[in-house]
């Protein structure tokens, strides 16, 4: 037995903030340091991704906070202000960082150090991490690290995060920096600017609004920036006047406010790097130049672009199908197991049609999300994504969007859900929301069953133009293009009204090409899928269960369940379908249809029938459309239930087509005519009957406003277009 040892005092966990320019390998470094121990969420009230990793350095626990890549710490939007707030310790659940790791591209120190000089002024210990160090050696560039460290007054560490080189040294440097007081920041900004900022901070203190020197400087320098806004709205009343006075004095002293910071910082950086960096003999960009000669060439570049986009689309549209069928198969198997273990009844219906269907409706999206983000991660990591945006920007600009919107919109032709998740790459908030709001108009794969069923049943199989153009194919093509065609004026209109504002700049760096890291790609795919399941998944699941309940209650289903018991027993015994079985099934389906009619869902359908009458619909079509809210393709099964075929009807079921063809109004007129079929299809092409899409918009926009706006505008649009289609085609065909 050893003597009890006094437990060492537990050191509080360290908070470390990771910052850097875009394209410095920051995410790779983050993943390399924290591994799988990462939580991703959103900061309250904004779209900024909150990424916190946990690691342990020599027994000390560390929280690593990844902040969005940025070229400068001069906040111009609430989202950019968030990084400043985290660094100043103003975000409650993060806490003031003990150490900042500033990651820079070792091959491009000059521009990268701009952000570093700003970070120095926060008075937090900094570790400067020169990443992509292998490229420096490869190109024969030389950097005198000891001299750089002593000139900048911080620890300098070299890493090649891609190959996980140098991470141990970086961990050690973080721990060492944590124990030291921050060195005084060098005086980089001109004396008059510093004096005015000090004076402003002193005055604010005197007015009872204690303000960090950093924020006072930002308020002074960033005209109409976030720091200024915050002081004007939250500080003393004379703030605006004070700022104006200070800026006028600086202008009178001959300083151009917009340029003074960049000029003084770059001058200082030049001075520090002089004699420290020896440029390489080989031009470091040769490889990328050679690739770009082909990849961004107007002809070969466009061809490659089209080929890459076609590949991505095929992957999401076609390659995901077997995986999605597997999910559906698993769902059916689970339903089968439950059905054989439980007698027909409410519990079984809840489990099979509510819970299992709900889980299935979440899982079924995973193959598409996984595949799309696999390609996005690969293209992003190798450097192609910025080129794609560069190549297509001119066309997207016509819609009021930028090149960054192309891929999300294209993916939405397969499924809007991964498409909307992919809008995260769009830097500008207004562009991002516009893209999100029009993405669900693209004709996704879930609309296809609706089109094929109605076209097969109601569009005559004839050919136009001397037999060259089959009418059914033409109709399908028209339905497929409708959403994209409508999206153009909608996007334009959104940019002119709700999201009006100056065209956001398209100042984008085209990074050097490199091999994508499988580790990083896998991490990104996993984290996207996890996020979808954890956040949007629960909402989608509950929507499905809710719609199930609305279709099940109230009403006494015991008679149906009794029939189910008899049907199942007969099926087990004979295995053959004899006449008794067929008549029992018919009776059961009729009863089930009657119960659906009297359910809350049926009542809702009846109540809103007048709304659908101008479209040529009766309440049954209305109910089918309403019940398809969790997912569009559900409409086929709903039509099956309502038209007494049972709930497991498939789109290509000939009995569904004939049931629809023979359905009539109470007065005996046929219900489904070609105009009605067209109006249903047009409605489905444009409506927002996809709960999952709306939940993902809620999740990505961080507010309920945008899913509500999307639902309202798309439903109104769908109704108007369906009404126009019905009225016009009735006149032409009738």
Q: Would you say 257 or 546 has its CB closer to another protein?
A: 257
Q: Would you say 74 or 550 has its CB closer to another protein?
A: 74
Q: Which long-range contacts (C-beta less than 8 Å, at least 24 apart) are formed by 664-667?
A: 665/618
Q: How far is the CB of 491 from another protein (least distance, A)?
A: 18
Position 268 contacts another protein (CB under 8 A)? no
Position 565 contacts another protein (CB under 8 A)? no
Q: Would you say 466 or 505 has its CB closer to another protein?
A: 505
Closest CA to 697 of 688, 707, 689: 707
Position 258 contacts another protein (CB under 8 A)? yes
Q: Of 95-103, 285-293, 641-649, 673-681, which part binds another protein (CB under 8 A)?
A: 285-293
Q: Of 72-80, 156-164, 335-343, 596-604, which part binds another protein (CB under 8 A)?
A: 72-80
Position 507 contacts another protein (CB under 8 A)? yes
Q: Of 30-38, 104-112, 664-672, 697-705, which part binds another protein (CB under 8 A)?
A: 104-112
Position 114 contacts another protein (CB under 8 A)? yes
Position 69 contacts another protein (CB under 8 A)? no
Q: Of 94-102, 313-321, 359-367, 385-393, which part binds another protein (CB under 8 A)?
A: 385-393
Q: Of 102-110, 373-381, 449-457, 465-473, which part binds another protein (CB under 8 A)?
A: 102-110
Q: Of 93-101, 103-111, 309-317, 535-543, which part binds another protein (CB under 8 A)?
A: 103-111
Q: Of 313-321, 406-414, 502-510, 690-698, which part binds another protein (CB under 8 A)?
A: 502-510
Position 259 contacts another protein (CB under 8 A)? yes
Burial label for 515, CB within 10 Å (0-12, 13-18, 19+), is: exposed
Residues 356, 375: Cα–Cα separation, whole Å: 30
Closest CA to 714 of 547, 447, 490: 490
Q: In the set 69, 169, 266, 273, which binds another protein (CB under 8 A)? A: 266
Q: Would you say 49 or 393 has its CB closer to another protein?
A: 393
Q: Which of residues 387-426 bind another protein (CB under 8 A)?
A: 390-391, 393-395, 397
Position 600 contacts another protein (CB under 8 A)? no
Q: Would you say 68 or 172 has its CB closer to another protein?
A: 68
Owner of token pair 């672009």:
305
Q: Containing H/E element for 277?
A: strand 277-278
Q: Containing H/E element for 126?
A: strand 126-131
Q: Containing H/E element for 606?
A: helix 600-607
Q: How far is the CB of 512 from another protein (least distance, A)?
A: 8
Residues 310, 319: Cα–Cα separation, whole Å: 12
Backbone angles phi, psi at 76, to 5 degrees: -115, 0
Burial label for 668, CB within 10 Å (0-12, 13-18, 19+), is: exposed
Q: Are 18 and 30 in contact (CB under 8 A)?
A: yes
Q: In the set 12, 36, 56, 110, which binds another protein (CB under 8 A)? A: 110
Position 503 contacts another protein (CB under 8 A)? yes
Residues 5, 288: Cα–Cα separation, whole Å: 59
Q: Which of residues 194-223 bind another protein (CB under 8 A)?
A: 222-223
Position 281 contacts another protein (CB under 8 A)? no
Closest CA to 102 of 85, 120, 83: 120
Q: Containing H/E element for 102?
A: strand 99-105
Q: Would you say 392 or 482 has its CB closer to another protein?
A: 392
Q: Would you say 110 or 577 has its CB closer to another protein?
A: 110
Q: How far is the CB of 392 from another protein (least distance, A)?
A: 8
Position 506 contacts another protein (CB under 8 A)? yes
Position 273 contacts another protein (CB under 8 A)? no
Q: Would you say 335 or 379 has its CB closer to another protein?
A: 379
Q: In the set 261, 353, 431, 633, which binds another protein (CB under 8 A)? A: 261
Backbone angles phi, psi at 692, to 5 degrees: -60, -40
Q: In the set 263, 294, 522, 607, which binds another protein (CB under 8 A)? A: 263
Q: In the set 37, 56, 180, 262, which binds another protein (CB under 8 A)? A: 262
Q: Would you say 41 or 501 has its CB closer to another protein?
A: 501
Backbone angles phi, psi at 479, to 5 degrees: -65, -40
- Reading the block at residue 282, the tokens are 């080989």
Q: How far is the CB of 23 from another protein (least distance, A)?
A: 8
How many residues bind to another protein according to rule CB under 8 A?
A: 42
Q: How far is the CB of 389 from another protein (least distance, A)?
A: 8
Q: Of 340-348, 361-369, 474-482, 500-508, which part binds another protein (CB under 8 A)?
A: 500-508
Q: Would you say 222 or 700 has its CB closer to another protein?
A: 222
Owner of token pair 């779209």:
47
Q: How far is the CB of 262 from another protein (least distance, A)?
A: 4
From first CA to last CA, the distance across the chain in angstroms is 98
Q: Of 211-219, 288-296, 473-481, 615-623, which part binds another protein (CB under 8 A)?
A: 288-296
Q: Of 160-168, 180-188, 251-259, 643-651, which part binds another protein (CB under 8 A)?
A: 251-259
Owner of token pair 């003597």:
3
Q: Find the length of the chain.
A: 734
Position 727 contacts another protein (CB under 8 A)? no
Q: How far is the CB of 274 from another protein (least distance, A)?
A: 15
Q: In the set 40, 46, 71, 456, which binds another protein (CB under 8 A)? A: 71
Residues 625, 616: Cα–Cα separation, whole Å: 14
Owner of token pair 């049907």:
567
SS3 665: coil
Backbone angles phi, psi at 37, to 5 degrees: -80, 60
Residues 307, 309: Cα–Cα separation, whole Å: 6
Position 287 contacts another protein (CB under 8 A)? no
Owner of token pair 């379908």:
577
Position 657 contacts another protein (CB under 8 A)? no
Strand ranges in 584-654 using DSSP code E only, listed in sequence order: none
Residues 62, 55: Cα–Cα separation, whole Å: 5
Helices (H), 159-253: 167-178, 191-206, 213-221, 226-234, 239-252
Q: How far is the CB of 243 from another protein (least distance, A)?
A: 14
Owner of token pair 């520090």:
272
Q: In the set 40, 46, 185, 257, which binds another protein (CB under 8 A)? A: 257
Residues 49, 524: Cα–Cα separation, whole Å: 13
Position 382 contacts another protein (CB under 8 A)? no
Position 386 contacts another protein (CB under 8 A)? yes
Checking DSSP bridges between strand 99-105 and strand 14-20, what pairing results, if any? parallel
Position 509 contacts another protein (CB under 8 A)? yes
Residues 220, 200: Cα–Cα separation, whole Å: 8
**DSSP for 528-544?**
HHHHIIIIIHHHHHHHH
Q: In the set 44, 183, 286, 302, which binds another protein (CB under 8 A)? A: 302
Closest CA to 507 of 402, 583, 634: 402
- Reading the block at residue 718, the tokens are 């769908």
Write out the residues near another protein by the rule CB under 8 A: 71-72, 74, 76, 107-108, 110-111, 114, 222-223, 257-259, 261-263, 266, 284-285, 288, 292, 296-298, 301-302, 386, 390-391, 393-395, 397, 503, 505-511
């Amino acid at each position: 037995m050893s003597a009890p040892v006094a437990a060492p005092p537990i050191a509080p966990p360290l908070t470390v903030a990771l910052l850097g320019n875009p394209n410095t390998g920051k995410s790779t470094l983050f993943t390399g340091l924290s591994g799988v121990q990462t939580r991703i969420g959103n900061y309250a009230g904004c779209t900024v991704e909150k990424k916190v990793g946990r690691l342990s350095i020599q027994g000390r626990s560390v929280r690593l906070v990844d902040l969005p890549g940025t070229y400068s710490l001069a906040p111009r939007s609430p989202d950019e202000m968030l990084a400043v707030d985290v660094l100043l310790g103003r975000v409650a659940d993060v806490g003031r960082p003990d150490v900042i790791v500033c990651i820079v591209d070792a091959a491009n120190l000059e521009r990268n150090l701009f952000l570093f000089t700003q970070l120095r002024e926060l008075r937090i210990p900094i570790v400067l991490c020169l990443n992509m160090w292998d490229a420096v050696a490869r190109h024969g560039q030389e950097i005198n690290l000891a001299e750089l460290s002593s000139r900048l007054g911080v620890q300098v560490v070299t890493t090649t995060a891609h190959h996980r080189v140098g991470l141990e040294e970086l961990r050690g440097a973080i721990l060492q920096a944590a124990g030291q007081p921050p060195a005084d920041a060098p005086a980089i900004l001109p004396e008059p600017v510093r004096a005015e900022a000090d004076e402003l901070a002193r005055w604010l203190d005197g007015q009872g609004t204690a303000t960090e020197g950093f924020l006072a400087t930002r308020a002074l320098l960033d005209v109409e920036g976030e720091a200024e806004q915050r002081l004007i709205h939250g500080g003393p009343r004379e703030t605006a006047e004070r700022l104006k006075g200070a800026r006028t004095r600086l202008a009178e002293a001959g300083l151009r406010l917009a340029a003074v910071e960049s000029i003084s910082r770059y001058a200082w950086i030049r001075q520090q790097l002089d004699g420290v960096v020896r440029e390489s003999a080989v031009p470091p960009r040769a490889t990328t130049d050679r690739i770009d000669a082909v990849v961004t060439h107007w002809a070969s570049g466009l061809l490659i672009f089209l080929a890459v986009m076609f590949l991505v689309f095929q992957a999401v549209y076609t390659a995901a199908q077997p995986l999605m069928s597997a999910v559906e198969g698993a769902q059916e198997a689970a339903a089968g197991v439950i059905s054989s273990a439980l007698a027909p009844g409410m519990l079984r219906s809840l489990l099979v049609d509510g819970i299992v269907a709900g889980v299935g409706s979440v899982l079924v999206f995973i193959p598409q999300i996984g595949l799309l983000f696999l390609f996005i991660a690969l293209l992003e990591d190798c450097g192609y994504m910025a080129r794609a945006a560069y190549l297509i920007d001119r066309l997207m600009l016509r819609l009021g969007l930028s090149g960054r919107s192309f891929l999300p919109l294209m993916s939405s032709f397969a499924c809007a859900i991964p498409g909307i998740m992919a809008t995260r790459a769009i830097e500008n908030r207004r562009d991002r929301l516009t893209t999100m709001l029009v993405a669900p108009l693209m004709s996704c794969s879930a609309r296809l069953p609706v089109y094929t069923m109605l076209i097969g049943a109601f569009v005559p199989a004839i050919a136009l133009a001397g037999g060259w153009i089959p009418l059914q194919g033409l109709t399908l093509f028209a339905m497929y293009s409708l959403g994209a065609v409508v999206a153009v004026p909608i996007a334009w209109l959104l940019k002119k009204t709700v999201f009006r504002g100056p065209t956001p700049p398209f100042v984008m760096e085209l990074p050097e090409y490199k091999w994508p890291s499988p580790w990083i790609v896998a991490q990104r795919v996993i984290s996207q899928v996890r996020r979808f399941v954890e956040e949007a998944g629960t909402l989608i699941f509950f929507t499905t269960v809710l719609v199930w309940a609305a279709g099940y209650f109230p009403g006494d289903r015991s008679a149906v369940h009794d029939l189910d018991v008899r049907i199942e027993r007969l099926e087990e015994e004979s295995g053959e379908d004899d006449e008794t079985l067929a008549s029992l099934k018919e009776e059961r389906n009729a009863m089930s249809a009657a119960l659906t009619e009297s359910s809350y869902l049926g009542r809702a359908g009846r109540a809103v029938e007048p709304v659908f009458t101008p479209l040529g619909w009766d309440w049954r079509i209305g109910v089918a459309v309403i019940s398809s809210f969790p997912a569009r393709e559900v409409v086929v099964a709903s039509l099956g239930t309502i038209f007494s075929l049972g709930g497991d009807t498939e789109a290509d079921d000939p009995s569904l087509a004939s049931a629809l063809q023979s359905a009539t109004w109470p007065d005996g007129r046929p219900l489904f005519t070609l105009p009605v079929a067209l109006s249903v299809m047009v409605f489905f092409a444009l409506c927002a009957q996809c709960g999952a899409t709306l939940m993902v918009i809620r999740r990505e926009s961080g507010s309920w406003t945008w899913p509500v706006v999307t639902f309202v505008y798309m439903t109104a649009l769908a109704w108007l277009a369906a009404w126009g289609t019905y009225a016009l085609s009735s006149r032409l065909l009738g």
